[in-house]
Amino acid sequence: ATTAPRIPSTRLALHHFDMSYSLHLRDLWPSVRVGLLCEQKYGALVNNFSAPDHVTQELELLNATDFISKALQKAQQSQRDADVREAMRGSQEGSGEGKTVMQAETGTQAGTSPLFHASISPRIKCYTFPRGDITRFHPARPDILGLLGYYLMDAASLLPVLALNVQQDDFVLDLCAAPGGKTLALLQTGLCGHLAANDVSISRTKRLHQILHSYVPKEVRETVRVTSYDGRDWEQVKGGTFHKVLVDVPCTTDRHSAMEEDNNIFHKKRTKERQMLPMLQLQLLLAGILATKPGGEVVYSTCSLSPLQNECVIE
């Protein structure tokens, strides 16, 4: 044991992914594997508490675009095209009454496009460089109040926040909040009536406090309740309180596991911890549901492709 060469955790992770994800994703796996091993591509989340107009102009001069507004425009155009096709088909199929029914059905079908139908806050803006361009954003500069103009994060990390679809004065819980990118994004909507940000790790909540201090003015920071409870016990503290709950659970964090030795969950000493992840995720999701008001909404998200950590937990 002492003389055998130590297998790097990243290699163990990639071997595990090759064995499991190739069966799950089949022909898609080779291209997904390449993406997983490519350099991480960041987005710049505009900080509305700084000088957003100046920041957006600066980012657009770099040839970056706001992927959220672009996606919404594309979805709306697709919907308009679909409406035109259905209206034309309705008019060809018969009477005016038939046409009216067809248009009503089209309206129902629009509900199948969550991105089009969601009331995404126009205040959330995240700039990315075009596909194939891995240019790095420069570190954000502080304004005259000391607040940074944008926060660099994996752009995909914004998708759970958009899916949460926060409405005016919603009580919102970010159950596993640290290091704080999603909490900051929730604040950018300007819609949260109350925001609670929780993470079991005190050291990670310190990082969350640092982010809030760097991006959010004091009067807004004071409205955010930051706690360090075990999220699985949250319902005992605040049961049935929130309109919207984000449960962004600990997971195998596939890109990190395949690329970084530091704090890698595929280290042999962490095997038991890794095997217990789906149970932990299930417990956190149940706690998130119990913390939600009747009629409220819960978004469950991971940074993993694993069906055991995604579909199986939901089932």
- 199 known member of a binding site: yes
User: What whole-number distance in Å separates Cα of residue 161 and Cα of residue 79?
Assistant: 23
Q: Is residue 287 a contact partner of residue 234, using CB atoms and an 8 Å limit? A: yes
User: What whole-number distance in Å separates Cα of residue 263 and Cα of residue 273?
Assistant: 12
CA 18, 21, 23, 26: dihedral to nearest 10 degrees? Answer: -100
Q: Which amino acid is at 8?
A: P
- 38 known member of a binding site: no
**Active site members:** 303
The Cβ of residue 141 has, within 10 Å, a number of other Cβ atoms equal to 11
The residue among 134, 140, 147 whose CA lies nearest residue 56 is 140
- 240 known member of a binding site: no
CA distances from 111 to 75, 117, 163 (A): 12, 6, 14
- 174 known member of a binding site: no
To 5 degrees, how large is the angle CA 294–CA 298–CA 299?
170
User: What whole-number distance in Å separates Cα of residue 263 and Cα of residue 207?
Assistant: 17
- 181 known member of a binding site: yes
Residue 273 CB contacts under 8 Å (≥ 6 apart), including other chains? 265
- 125 known member of a binding site: no
User: What whole-number distance in Å separates Cα of residue 285 and Cα of residue 38?
Assistant: 31
- 177 known member of a binding site: yes
The residue among 210, 146, 151 whose CA lies nearest residue 178 is 210
Joined tokens for residue 307: 């069906």
- 192 known member of a binding site: no
- Binding positions are 176-182, 199, 230, 248
- Binding positions for S-adenosyl-L-methionine are 176-182, 199, 230, 248
